[in-house]
Structure 1
Amino acid sequence: MQQPPGFVDPLHPTYVCKLRKSLYGLKQAPRAWFDKLFQALHSLGFTQSSSDAFLFVLNGPQLVIVLVYVDDILVTGPYPHLCQHFIQQLGAQFPVKDLGLLHYLLGLEVHRSSQGIFLHQTKYLLDLLKKTNMEGAKPCCTPLGSKKLDHSGHFLSNPTEYRSIVGGLQYLTWTRPDLAFVVNQICQFMHAPREQHLQAAKRVLRFLKGSISHGVWFTKGSVHLSAYSDADWAGCTIDRRSTTGYCVFLGSNLISWSAKKQSTVARSSTEAEYRSLAHTAAEITWVCKILKDLHYHFSTFPTLWCDNISTISLASNPVFHARTKHVEIDYHYIKELVLAQLLKVKFICSEDQLADLHTKSLSKTRFNYLCSKLPIGLISDPPSRLRGCIRENDKSSKSATVNNFVTVN
């Protein structure tokens, strides 16, 4: 560090300026701001979630939830007057601007109707299509073709374009579960993309061109937690690693999904499914902790659906089989949950396995069938009810209403 030009002290040329407060743009500025906001929320009676550092919940019988992203704050809860009271308290310490009901946040658009809450990214998608000159592209039915991606073909002369497209598509997966697998596939070639990879990325844009206004529905209903777990054994032709896919539902609402390549090669389909089951169980555990922080406790155990009978037997049987000695110890986490009766693992036929959408490339018919089982659609479409997949609990509960979106200047 050096003294600023024009303010050099001739008596102490090696001295530097000491900051009395954090300046915007410095590396320590975000941490200093969050520490100050944390102290303010703590003084108002809020507790930081142990599972999400940016989630704060008001202590006491009445619920107020605060979600923080830098200087954008989302305030929600079943009691609007308490939310308004909190905003007034926060305004006494910071220059707060109340933007009213949440309509737009970080590229996510929120619409409310009598059916529930609809999240989508139409504006962001239109901007992405314009940026990539794909506004006039011809739509296609599926985001990924039947041919698997590999390292054949010519290298791209300008890989920056490919990386920019893939980066933009990654953010779309927040409201588009149908893109999870294909985005996972094209992200694996960021280092040295080829022509076929760019064509695959543009195919995704063509698919999105035909479903611009699609998003995810959230509706009131049962609060039973369930998940679907699947794995495509040795699906990658390059390194023969398997792909893990899961979908987590709260009632009929899809709240978490993932498509991820496994870190090591599985020696059997049972091992691949078992690893996928363990990853899904970890996600369920995290969701349960979040809901516990929100003062909600389940009356029934979460249900995990799997289409591999051998995997279910391995997770439910306390006997350590000799054929599973090669399985890493941390993947037996699922067995501990089952033995502790904190999780139920049940069989589901492969036809109704929703996580199949996140593990492999599917035909048009199969792809559309699985998408119809998910709460994906237009704002004018009624949300899906998972017909034929899971049994919904008849008990209903009050769902929190999004009240206010606040920004701190």
Structure 2
Amino acid sequence: MTTRSKAGIHKPNHRYALITAKTTIKEPQGIASAMKHPGWTEAIMEELRRIYMLNTWSLTPPTEGMNILDSKWVFKTKLKPNGEVDKLKARLVAKGSDQEEGVDYLETFSPMVRTATIRLVLDTAVARGWSLKKLDVSNAFLHGELQEPVFMYQPTGFIDPEKPNHVCRLTKALYGLKQAPRAWFDTFSTFLLEFGFNCSTADPSLFVLHQGDKIIVLLLYVDDILLTDNNQSLLDQLLQSLNTRFSMKDLGPPRYFLGVQIESTDDGLFLHQTTYASDILYQAGMLDCNPMPMPLPQQVDKPNTTPFEEPTYYRSLAGKLQYLTITRPDLQYAVNFVCQKMHAPTNSDFSLLKRILRYVKGTLNMGLPIRKHGNPVLSAFYDSDYAGCKDTRRSTGGFCILLGSTLISRSAKRQPTVSSSSTEAEYRALSVVALELTWISSLL
């Protein structure tokens, strides 16, 4: 039998590329194996100390008709941006998949901050010379107050010997519950409103505090908090109140926020995702590929209609590239183009996807600059083709919105309906950019 090694083939098989990892630390599969390792044992005990300190549950005897949830321990090795091990994290997670709507949960929606809002806040801080600070909340979801009765079996390995048959009635949200993100957001936003903040109607994750000429702007993304202000005394007062109510970590000036690396420069900030892009190439087995000068060819060749044999692999890479477009507007159109083929990718589509990865290889250090400017004028540019998609005859529209010299928002996507003329396609693109401009104006 001729094997890959006998044939001199040492390139990683793409079928198994996505399960590779840079770290060599083996994560335990259960609580029994974790307790044999001193590092994981300490992580477990730290999680339990936090749970008991916050009075997350109370023990109660089970009754007939209770919907009692199971729980499990999840272990994760946290890495630094350079790939080094940061810490070992153990988390007690409730199995929210067993919850019943109307019984132990009602509303589950929790607001998420938009990336345009993040860039707008960073641009404002740079333009006005305000300080930037990043905060992190330890065990954020454990602070969320539950409104519905939720019951859970006692965690494996830590059953109360005096009440072995009792179950936990949760008073605080655990990770894994369907309503946990909403409960945390309600708890934290209520605290901010009582402190004096106003919640933005344009983006519910943006909170602004005005006290005369003193201003604090706070962005909340789950347990990651971005702060900017123009008064240190007011900021110290806020930080003291936050530490009293929550377990906060002051991480100083932001260096890494939501997978985006933030570097300070002489004239502002530089946002990039070099580490994230390298991880994508590593997982795709293309770290040593030859770079390409353009993400897509000017004219796509006659497509090969043979179905790609690993569609899940295709979707995984395309989804990872979608997140890379946060700081790479040059990839926006190309990634949108290959994502339109996710439902049934062909060999030609996969070739285009690999071409984008080869372009990323040659442009790893590209990113989005935020420079100081004294004239914050809001401007927008848009364009549209006509029936650019040969399959659906739909047009593709795109726009970019700048505040001064900073790119705040952009888009490049296929229009949802067919336009009967090039003029109609242009007007549809114009209406989209007008909506975005109206939203940014209300945010400002």
Report deviation, 1:88: 1.8
Q: Does 1:72 align with 2:123?
A: no
Q: Does the 8 Å CA contact 1:149/1:197 hold for their aligned counterparts?
A: no
Report deviation, 1:151: 6.7
- Partner amino acid, structure 2, of 1:273: E
- 2:422 is aligned to 269
1:215-241 Cα distance to aligned partner (Å, 9 max, x none): 011111110110001001111111110
- 2:48 is aligned to none
- 2:260 is aligned to 108
1:34-93 Cα distance to aligned partner (Å, 9 max, x none): 110011111111111101111111133321110001111111123344333322221110
1:98-124 Cα distance to aligned partner (Å, 9 max, x none): 000000011100011211110000111
- Cα distance in 2 between the residues matched to 1:195 and 1:8: 58
- 2:177 is aligned to 26
- 1:46 is aligned to 197
- Cα distance in 1 between the residues matched to 2:185 and 2:321: 29
Q: 1:201 to 1:81 in 2, by over 3 A?
A: farther
Instruction: Tell me which moved more, 250-259 or 59-68.
Output: 59-68
1:206-217 superposed matches below 5 A: 206-217=358-369
1:211-230 superposed matches below 5 A: 211-221=363-373, 222-230=375-383
- 1:117 is aligned to 269
- Cα distance in 1 between the residues matched to 2:60 and 2:241: 44
1:2-27 Cα distance to aligned partner (Å, 9 max, x none): xxxxx9968x4333434323222111
- Aligned positions, number: 284
- Cα distance in 2 between the residues matched to 1:29 and 1:121: 29
- Cα distance in 2 between the residues matched to 1:208 and 1:157: 24
Of residues 134, 140, 145, the one that matches 2:292 is 140
- Cα distance in 2 between the residues matched to 1:263 and 1:15: 46
Secondary structure (helix, strand or coil) at the match of 2:187 reads: helix
Of residues 53, 56, 59, the one that matches 2:210 is 59
- Cα distance in 1 between the residues matched to 2:292 and 2:66: 64
Q: Does the 8 Å CA contact 1:49/1:290 hold for their aligned counterparts?
A: yes
Report deviation, 1:160: 1.1
1:114-193 superposed matches below 5 A: 114-148=266-300, 152-193=304-345
TM-score (ref. length: structure 2): 0.62
1:281-300 Cα distance to aligned partner (Å, 9 max, x none): 11111111111xxxxxxxxx
- Cα distance in 2 between the residues matched to 1:185 and 1:103: 32
TM-score (ref. length: structure 1): 0.67
- Cα distance in 1 between the residues matched to 2:432 and 2:441: 14
1:220-268 Cα distance to aligned partner (Å, 9 max, x none): 1110110001001111111110011001011111111100111111111
- 2:65 is aligned to 14
Identity within the alignment, %:
45
Q: Does the 8 Å CA contact 1:234/1:240 hold for their aligned counterparts?
A: yes
Instruction: Tell me which moved more, 116-125 or 81-90.
Output: 81-90
> Bigger relative contact order, structure 1 or 2, given CA contacts below 8 A and separation 6+?
1
- Cα distance in 2 between the residues matched to 1:169 and 1:15: 44
- 1:352 is aligned to none
Secondary structure (helix, strand or coil) at the match of 2:391 reads: coil
- Cα distance in 2 between the residues matched to 1:60 and 1:263: 45
Secondary structure (helix, strand or coil) at the match of 1:180 reads: helix
Report deviation, 1:149: 7.7
Structure 2 unmatched ranges of 5 or more: 1-58, 68-150, 152-168
- Partner amino acid, structure 2, of 1:178: D
- Cα distance in 1 between the residues matched to 2:440 and 2:277: 28
Q: Does 1:259 align with 2:412?
A: yes
- Cα distance in 2 between the residues matched to 1:93 and 1:99: 18
- Cα distance in 1 between the residues matched to 2:209 and 2:434: 28
- Cα distance in 1 between the residues matched to 2:249 and 2:443: 28
Q: 1:81 to 1:136 in 2, by over 3 A?
A: farther
- Cα distance in 1 between the residues matched to 2:269 and 2:60: 58
Q: Does 1:202 align with 2:253?
A: no
- Partner amino acid, structure 1, of 2:406: N
Q: Does the 8 Å CA contact 1:116/1:220 hold for their aligned counterparts?
A: yes
Report deviation, 1:152: 4.4
1:367-382 superposed matches below 5 A: none
Instruction: Tell me which moved more, 119-128 or 74-83.
Output: 74-83
Q: Does 1:243 align with 2:396?
A: yes
Structure 1 unmatched ranges of 5 or more: 1-6, 292-409
Identify the structure with the greater strand proportion.
2
- Cα distance in 2 between the residues matched to 1:99 and 1:69: 15
Q: Does the 8 Å CA contact 1:150/1:237 hold for their aligned counterparts?
A: no
- Cα distance in 1 between the residues matched to 2:304 and 2:425: 27
